[in-house]
């Protein structure tokens, strides 16, 4: 059996941290450089993944789906009936979207998504899940006290509005369709998508602002 020297392990740990940049962005860059240097990945592959998640996959895809649902009643009906099939029609099917359910906010109801077991998430539409979504605190509290958690996100849902909490799993994930703000009647799909936030598609945002446009 191999011997474990705690003092030596601690020494190695300190050495590694002493040679890593303190800034997270610089740490990522250092790791990227090492991966490329050792032939583990090519720079073109890294660039492609960054572009995919920042420009295409990220919340932008989900926002375009929401905007399309606002503009096209037939698409919204399809989305609410069979979300996986609806997004496949526009070429957005992919990772973690094969079993997808869309739920719609209204004047009388608000939808909120969580994954109590781990962090199942439709990242093919919303990109990488935020750290708070993966945290044990969010996963445990949002089921027990959803209104209080929403308040901490700055969302005050009136008592007259029902709050529905949806628990994602590996077999079923959710996309919240937020309410379309007033004053956007003549907006294009792209303009509408620009006001849809990632959090609104999870349910930790409700009243969308027009100030971002």
6 is catalytic: no
For residue 116, give the nearest of 164, 153, 167, 176 by alpha carbon. Answer: 167
- Alpha-carbon distance of 68 to 150, in angstroms, equals 26
115 is catalytic: yes
| Helices 58-71 and 73-81, packing angle to 10 deg | 120
For residue 144, give the nearest of 111, 116, 110, 174 by alpha carbon. Answer: 116
Count of other CB atoms within 10 angstroms of residue 160: 7
Structure tokens at 106: 């209204």
118 is catalytic: yes
- Alpha-carbon distance of 140 to 120, in angstroms, equals 14
Residues 62, 52 contacting (CB under 8 angstroms): no
Sign of the dihedral through C-alpha 16, 19, 25, 28: negative
Structure tokens at 80: 């609410």
Exactly one of 54, 85, 106, 118 is catalytic; name it. Answer: 118
Active centre residues (catalytic): 115, 118-120
């Amino acid at each position: 059996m191999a011997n474990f020297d705690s003092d030596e392990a601690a020494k190695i740990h300190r050495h590694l941290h002493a040679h890593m940049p303190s800034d997270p962005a610089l740490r990522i860059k250092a790791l990227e450089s090492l991966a490329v240097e050792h032939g583990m990945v090519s720079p073109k592959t890294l660039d492609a993944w960054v572009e995919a998640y920042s420009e295409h996959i990220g919340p932008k895809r989900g926002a375009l789906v929401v905007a399309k649902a606002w503009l096209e009643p037939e698409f919204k009906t399809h989305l609410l009936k069979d979300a996986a099939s609806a997004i496949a029609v526009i070429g957005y099917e992919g990772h973690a979207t094969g079993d997808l359910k869309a739920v719609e906010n209204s004047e009388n109801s608000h939808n909120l998504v969580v994954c109590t077991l781990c962090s199942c998430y439709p990242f093919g539409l919303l990109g990488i899940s935020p750290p708070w979504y993966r945290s044990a605190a969010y996963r445990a509290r949002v089921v027990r006290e959803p209104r209080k958690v929403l308040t901490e996100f700055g969302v005050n849902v009136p008592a007259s509005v029902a709050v529905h909490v949806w628990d994602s799993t590996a077999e079923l994930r959710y996309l919240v369709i937020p309410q379309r703000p007033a004053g956007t009647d003549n907006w294009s799909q792209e303009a509408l998508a620009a006001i849809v936030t990632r959090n609104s598609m999870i349910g930790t945002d409700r009243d969308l602002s027009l100030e971002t446009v």
